[in-house]
Structure 1
């Protein structure tokens, strides 16, 4: 069977994994869930009790959570090296370095903004303090990413890789929260613009928005209820 990626909307980090599946060029299926409602309710909690997305149902029917773990699963199946590099090479090490950086501090830096937005009982002073902390953290991580980047069009050269996939799924959060001035980080801004012009990313964004979009690699969407029934069986 094809792997099934459960991806979230709106603004899910998993959007980048959908693009990665397209770049990989192997058949897959998708399940789309709402990150404000379905992710914390039945039947999704029967699939992932932590109530988080993304989730991958592998080609063996086994659940796999956490963005980095899913990205490494894709890397192991990238026999044509479309989105990764040969093991035990410097490029592979750098790929893992970028992926770890993006999946930890770069992603977590936006956490205070989400806390301020979701804490209905917080005072205006608490929300302002969280946003101020978020701004400091997000700008710190953008400065570090800007310093890490070379002169190539993508994070690791002439083609997008899993590192770019992890980046594009979360980089838009800084814009959503107005946490940065894009002019302060020209390399990051250029990469973001380049990726958002990529056909696979445009396809992933259309799916996230609920718009009709097709791909030779996408074998269809599996409704959440059906996915949960399969897991129960």
Structure 2
């Protein structure tokens, strides 16, 4: 079967996996999940019982969930095109960077996402934004310091899945309007470089349902039920 990524909108961190798949260039399909529509399709529990995106189905029908697991799976493909051999110092550095982005930096936005769902309670919403703002600023300052001396976020000589994840999550700072990324010049320059990348342009257009052309191996969108029907019994 064609490897298939289930991605969530709006603003899902699954954007990172779309970017990585485009960079990889191997054939893949996408299946869209509207995260704000409840309940989610019952069949999706067959893909991920936790009802979370991203989720990925390999060519062999193996089910993967969690961005970090999916991205590291992709990083090992095609001669470690988007990563490094297991056990190498470069692999350890990539793991460290990706782990920071997927835990501390991701978690900094949790109060802001909670506030996002509290439009009917402005005082509580603002309190959550006040709580989240310094956490996001701390994360951006850390990334800005790293990028002052690095071409790519993991410190290597090539783009990796960590850059894909950074592109997906760092955009939330401006989405929630809690700070100006321009105040972190090295981070801002890196994000501008990523936003100009054809894979990032493509992934953003996919999320927004705008016309776009793949520079990778995109085979089109597939229905959830069609993917489930192909899974091993």
Say whether the fold is shared (TM-score over 0.5): yes
Aligned to 2:21: 21
2:143 is matched with which residue: 142, 145, 163?
Answer: 145
Superimposed CA distance per residue, residues 87-107 of structure 1 (whole angstroms, 9 cap, x where no aligned partner): 332222111111000000111
Q: Could you tell me how far apart the structure 2 residues matched to 1:205 and 1:7 are?
A: 12
Deviation at 1:169, TM superposition (A): 0.8
CA-to-partner distance for each residue in 1:168-187, whole Å, 9 max, x for gaps? 11111110011222232111
Structure 2 residue matching 1:18: 3-state secondary structure: helix
Does the aligned pair in 2 maintain the 1:22–1:217 contact within 8 Å?
Answer: yes
How far, CA to CA, are the matches of 2:41 and 2:6 in structure 1? 14
What whole-Å deviation, never above 9, does each CA across 1:25-47 have from its counterpart, x for those lacking one? 21111111212116734232332
Bigger shift: residues 99-108 or 157-166: 157-166
Equivalent position of 1:99 in the other structure: 98
| Residue of structure 2 in register with 1:40 after alignment | 40
Q: Distance in 2 between matches of 1:73 and 1:209?
A: 26
Task: Assess if the C-alpha contact under 8 Å between 1:39 and 1:53 holds in 2.
Answer: no
Give the RMSD, CA atoms, in angstroms.
2.0
**Residue 213 of structure 1: aligned partner:** 212
Superimposed CA distance per residue, residues 182-214 of structure 1 (whole angstroms, 9 cap, x where no aligned partner): 232111111111000001111111111112333
**Aligned partners of 2:75 and 2:160 also within 8 Å:** no
When the two structures are superposed, what TM-score results if normalisation uses the length of structure 1? 0.90
**Structure 2: where are the runs of 5+ without partners?**
none
1:33–1:224 contact (8 Å) kept in structure 2: no
Aligned pair count reads 231
Residues 38 and 44, structure 1, Cα contact 8 Å, conserved in 2? no
Q: Distance in 2 between matches of 1:205 and 1:125?
A: 32
In structure 1, the partner of 2:176 is 177
The question of whether the paired residues in 2 share the 8 Å contact of 1:39 and 1:52 is answered with no
Is residue 87 of structure 2 the alignment partner of residue 69 of structure 1?
Answer: no
Mapped pair 1:132 → 2:161:
no
Task: Tell me the alpha carbon deviations over residues 116-163 of structure 1, each in whole angstroms, 9 at most, x when there is no partner.
Answer: 111366x32221111101101111111222223343432134432111
5+ long unaligned stretches in structure 1: none
Kindly tell me: are residues 150 and 92 of structure 1, through their superposed partners in 2, closer, same or farther at Cα, counting changes over 3 Å?
farther
Match of 1:118 in 2: 117
* Preserved contact between residue 27 and residue 217 of structure 2 (Cα < 8 Å): yes
